[in-house]
Amino acid sequence: ASGLNSAIVAAGKLYFGTATETFTLEDVEYATQVSNTADFGQLSPANSMKWQSVQPTQDTFTFDGGDAIADLAEANGQLLRCHTLVWYNQLPTWVSGGGFDNATLIEVMTNHITATVTQWKGKCYAWDVVNEAISDNGDGSFRSNVFLDTIGEAYIPIAFAAAAAADPDAKLYYNDYSIESDSPKATAALNIVKLVQSYGVKIDGIGLQAHFIVGSTPSTEAQVANMEAFAALGVEVGITELDIRTDTPVTASAQTQQAADYASTIDACMQVDACVGITLWDWTDKYSWVPGTFSGEGSALPWDEDLQKKEDVYDAMIAAIGGS
């Protein structure tokens, strides 16, 4: 097989990529493999462009982490998905601590977006402008965060407008999880697209994080219908953080199911013109976020802890892309 990215580009998509970290790039074998454009034509910084990393104290900006990944992508000729400008998590305490009035927080948020987007202007295929703004209450309500609680839902279009002003060429995405098939949360994401559009503000895409569980991955048909619902609003979609976790140690049958789940998700994107590409949330179990968050779970990625391909999973992914 040529590779995940070579195959998906040959099939007309923009990229197959992966999130990565600055510290993992010190792992020479890792850095070599993540730079292999046959498999990875796009990179996303898992952490180094988040508010906590970029503006840890007010008006003090540290771009070196994001620069390391932006520079690697540029050197490799890989696209860059930039992540993420406004999120309730990984905020520095000077922001999450609140205490701002409406006008001041709008200024603080706008300043952060402007400075951050300007730093990587022209380098980001897309920005995840707002991340995870919808709650997990099951009713599609907005997630409480300092921005919603101070500014109201308008913080979302205001954030998109600031990003559009700073880099008119970047695709501007709303990014979330559990919106990959029909649900109140997916409906709420559709409504976010409509909300931003109702302000006459630019929104280009929806990031479907796709943090899935082996055996509970939505069917291809459900994922296709969901993607088409977003496309009907005039936005593109990307699978932005794909991993499919299972109980560890993984069993042979679980890995067989995992291969099928990766294939069905990739198949969904291949069936929808508006789906531009697929990004893994790292590519190797060695650096996956999953075990640290879900104890007893892991083995979520197509390469194992020793950076070796899980051949059955990888081959199923290539087959789903239509590669050989």
Q: Which residues bind ligand G3I (CB under 6 A)?
A: 46-47, 89-90, 131, 209, 241, 289
Burial of 307 (0-12, 13-18, 19+ CB in 10 A): middle
Smallest separation, CB 273 to ligand G3I (Å): 26
Question: For residues 89 and 187, which CB has a smaller minimum distance to ligand G3I in the complex?
Answer: 89
Instruction: Dig out the tokens for 317 from the structure.
Output: 């992914």
* One-letter amino acid of 61: F
Cα(64)–Cα(48) distance, integer angstroms: 8
Smallest separation, CB 89 to ligand G3I (Å): 5
Judge whether 180 counts as a catalytic residue: no
Smallest separation, CB 103 to ligand G3I (Å): 29
Judge whether 297 counts as a catalytic residue: no
Question: For residues 241 and 267, which CB has a smaller minimum distance to ligand G3I in the complex?
Answer: 241
Residue 187, strand partner residues: none
Backbone torsions φ then ψ of 249, nearest 5 degrees: -70, 145
Cα(235)–Cα(223) distance, integer angstroms: 16
Write the DSSP string, 278-322. EEES-SBGGG-SHHHHSTTEE--SSB-TTS-B-HHHHHHHHHHHT
Cα(226)–Cα(184) distance, integer angstroms: 12
Question: For residues 184 and 291, which CB has a smaller minimum distance to ligand G3I in the complex?
Answer: 291
Smallest separation, CB 51 to ligand G3I (Å): 11
Residue nearest to ligand G3I (CB): 289
Question: For residues 86 and 106, which CB has a smaller minimum distance to ligand G3I in the complex?
Answer: 86
Backbone torsions φ then ψ of 183, nearest 5 degrees: -170, 165
Burial of 168 (0-12, 13-18, 19+ CB in 10 A): exposed
Smallest separation, CB 53 to ligand G3I (Å): 8
Question: Could you say which of 21, 180, 236, 241 is catalytic?
Answer: 241
121 neighbors 66 (Cβ within 8 angstroms): no
Question: Could you say which of 132, 153, 221, 305 is catalytic?
Answer: 132
Regarding beta strands 236-247 and 275-280, do their DSSP bridges make them parallel or antiparallel, or are they unpaired?
A: parallel
Smallest separation, CB 226 to ligand G3I (Å): 18
SS3 90: coil
Question: For residues 185 and 320, which CB has a smaller minimum distance to ligand G3I in the complex?
Answer: 185
First-last CA distance in the chain: 5
Question: For residues 82 and 224, which CB has a smaller minimum distance to ligand G3I in the complex?
Answer: 82
Residues marked as catalytic: 132, 241
